Amino acid sequence: QSIGCDDYLGSDKVIDKCGICGGDNTACKVVSGVFKHTLTNLGYHKIVEIPEGATKINITEMSKSNNYLALRSRSGRSIINGNWAIDRPGRYEGGGTLFTYRRPNEISSTAGESFLADGPTNEVLDVYMIHQQPNPGIHYEYIIPGDNVISPQLLAHRRPGEPLNGQLGMPESVSHDDEDLHRETDILTGQAAGTFPVIQPGRFPSHQPENQVPAMQAPRQNREHNWKQVGKTECTTTCGKGSQYPIFHCVNRITHEEVPEGYCDSSTKPIPEEEACNLFPCPAFWDIGEWSECSKTCGLGMQHRQILCRQIYANRTLTVQQYRCHHLEKPETTSTCQLKICSEWQIRTEWTSCSVPCGVGQRTRDVKCVSNLGDVVDDEECNMKLRPNDIENCDMGPCAKSWFLTEWSDRCSAECGAGIRTRSVVCMTNHVSSLPLEGCGNNRPSDSTPCDNGPCAGRVEWFAGGWTQCSTECGSGTQQREVICVRKTEGNFDVLNPYECSYLEKPPSQQSCYLKPCGSKWFHTEWSTCSKSCEGGFRVREVRCLSDDMAASSQCDPQLKPEEKEPCNTQDCIPEIDENCKDKYYNCNVVVQARLCVYTYYKTACCASCTRVANRQSGFLGRR
């Protein structure tokens, strides 16, 4: 017979959803709703308040998003995801109960985050959402007791059968200030939205009934009763080799009815022996490891976990080939993660005035990296690729301009005869003058004026002509000019012998020149000796592409590359005539036909005939 929640044998009482032993589910209320507000600001937003004494708490995001749920006690203590730090999924104690925080990480999953707790809570708790993207909706649900509900402490000490004295009143209505959709549903209607894990609460402390019947005394043993195996215990495992034991009861040998064990001799009761059962292997399953640390300390990162195909047999868990788990969907090995929101760039000031009153200048503004707590931090904590510009060019329009002049130089360019004096002439912006200047224009003042220090006496000097053109069109070359010794008198020049100017430094008559780079060009060596002196041979040379600095290059035009190999000595060979080479045998044509010229004797005896045959054969092979 079963034992009820009141600890009586044969009792069928169970604990209802309100936590009452033998209750009828009418002593409490379900409060549920959906938070659907459209939020605009990033950060924490309060969703719902969970009152003291709430049970079966379920806060679930209706679909996956980049938002996070957060939980805080009314006293200000953070329980889950507080202070801009994202906690890992798991169990967290708060408000007198244990909350299970779930955050599905599988890429294929569309489920959102959730908080689940059995309760009851011993203080008011506030649920928040860390808003980062549009709100998909937050479903919340919890159970609260009615005003006249008997406390669990009272139930724990009430003896079975003792009246509740009217302490289980009718459920009272529940009201909320939130504008979102709320539902208040009696447990018996079964219309409460959402689900939560049903965890069987523990039974209240038992009390020994006062009218318990004492155990029956065993009558005198006789042979009418004996031990009989009536079955076996349940196998300790459903698969993978478990164990079970036979069950022996005392029965009447005639009627086979079961009787108390006292009717049988306990010394003859068989000792149950262990038997193996369910020897077939258990189905393979995916063994899921813990997630690794997030790859990034803030913002979206990646985390990984190990997935193994495992199988249980004989109380041992073995790693097997993955194909044995093909009947199961393989969990994801990678997932996105976010520990906290990253710091962001903030523009602290407007643009400054342009650095110049006219023309093109620059202006600046203050750009700072600010943490999610509002503190200024190092720029490295923000994404440098997204940093707004803090300096830019500005154009204040054209500036007024005028010609600025220096005084004429004091010295004439020639010690005697005609020369010039110079001055500097520049067009400059005038930031100070209020003259209505329209710009410098084309009327540029002269920067030179003639001067004359009187006639020159005749004197000797080197006279250099103009330079000739550069000797090369590209690369390094030379150019020359003619330098002669002359006597200058009143604008006339008389040519003198060079020794007349020997005491003067002679200007150079040659200098290097460089018009432009030649680029890469083909260079080659001289042809080699021909491989044959007649009847066609070949000769070769090395060809290289070199740059201006004589380094190997690949920029030469392949179509202009010189040949690296060509034929040579194509004329026929003229055999040398040996006066001593004569036929000494009267029938040398037979020797040739019999191909006996390969032998030294016949080659000497028929020298002329064998030589002609050899020349004809070499000419034939050469033509092939």
Residue 215: other Cβ atoms inside 10 A: 8
Per the DSSP assignment, residues forming a β-bridge with 566 are 539
Provide the percentage of residues in the chain whose pLDDT is more than 90.
24
263 Cβ partners below 8 Å, 6+ apart? 218, 219, 221, 224, 225, 250
- Res 333: pLDDT: 92
- Give the model's pLDDT for residue 331: 92
Mean pLDDT check: name the lowest of 146-160, 165-179, 225-239.
Answer: 165-179
> What's the pLDDT tens digit per position in 161-209?
333 333 322 233 333 334 333 333 333 233 333 333 333 333 333 333 3
For the record, the structure tokens of 387 come out as 């940093």
- pLDDT higher than 50, residue 219: no
Mean pLDDT of 359-371: 89
How far apart are alpha carbons 267 and 207 in whole angstroms?
A: 35
The conformation of residue 541, written as its DSSP 8-state character, comes to -
Burial class (CB in 10 A: 0-12, 13-18, 19+), 386: exposed
Query: Residue 140's pLDDT is what?
Result: 95
Q: What is the pLDDT of residue 320?
A: 87
CB 482 within 8 A of CB 465: yes
- 91-145 pLDDT, tens digit per residue, is 999 998 999 999 887 667 788 999 999 988 999 999 999 988 899 999 999 998 8
Q: Two tokens at 79?
A: 């329980």
Signed CA dihedral, 129, 131, 132, 138: sign only: positive
Mean pLDDT score, 450-466: 82
Q: Look up residue 298 and give its two tokens.
A: 């803030």
Strands (E), 103-236: 114-117, 125-131, 138-145, 181-186, 225-232
Q: Is the pLDDT of residue 519 over 50?
A: yes
pLDDT of 80 strictly over 90: yes
Structure confidence at residue 213 (pLDDT): 35
Q: Does the pLDDT at position 152 exceed 70?
A: no
Give dist(CA 405, CA 201) in Å, integer: 103
524 pLDDT higher than 50: yes
pLDDT in tens, 460-470: 888 899 999 99
Task: Provide the residue type at 83 as one letter.
Answer: N
Dihedral of CA atoms 278, 279, 281, 287 in degrees, nearest 10, equals 70
Average pLDDT over residues 366-373: 88
Chain segment 258-288, per-residue pLDDT in tens: 899 888 888 888 888 888 888 877 888 899 9
* Mean pLDDT score, 341-365: 87
Amino acid (one-letter) located at 326: H
What pTM, to 2 d.p., does this model score?
0.30
Work out the angle at residue 540's Cα, subtended by the Cα atoms of residues 537 and 544, and round it to the nearest 5 degrees.
165
pLDDT surpasses 50 at 364? yes
Q: Work out the pLDDT band at 50, boundaries 50, 70, 90.
A: very high
Task: Give, in degrees to the nearest 5, the angle at Cα 530 between 529 and 534.
Answer: 140
Per residue in 83-101, pLDDT (tens digit) is 888 888 899 999 989 999 9
In order of their start, the domains of the chain are 28-189 (2.60.120.830), 225-277 (no CATH), 285-337 (no CATH), 344-351+361-392 (no CATH), 515-525+536-571 (no CATH), 588-623 (no CATH)
* Element holding 623 (H helix, E strand): helix 607-623
Residue 618's pLDDT band, with cuts at 50, 70 and 90, is low
Please give the radius of gyration of the chain, using alpha carbons only, rounded to the nearest integer: 56
Question: Both tokens of residue 327?
Answer: 């009947």
Residue 528 to residue 375: CA distance in whole angstroms: 81
Per-residue confidence at 492, pLDDT binned at 50, 70, 90? confident
Determine how many CB atoms are found less than 10 A away from the CB of residue 1: 8
Using one digit for the tens of pLDDT, what is the confidence trace for 435-444? 444 557 677 8
- The more confidently predicted of residues 381 and 232 is 232
Q: Which amino acid, residue 69? A: L
Per-residue model confidence (pLDDT) at position 115: 95
Cα 101 from Cα 80, distance rounded (Å): 8
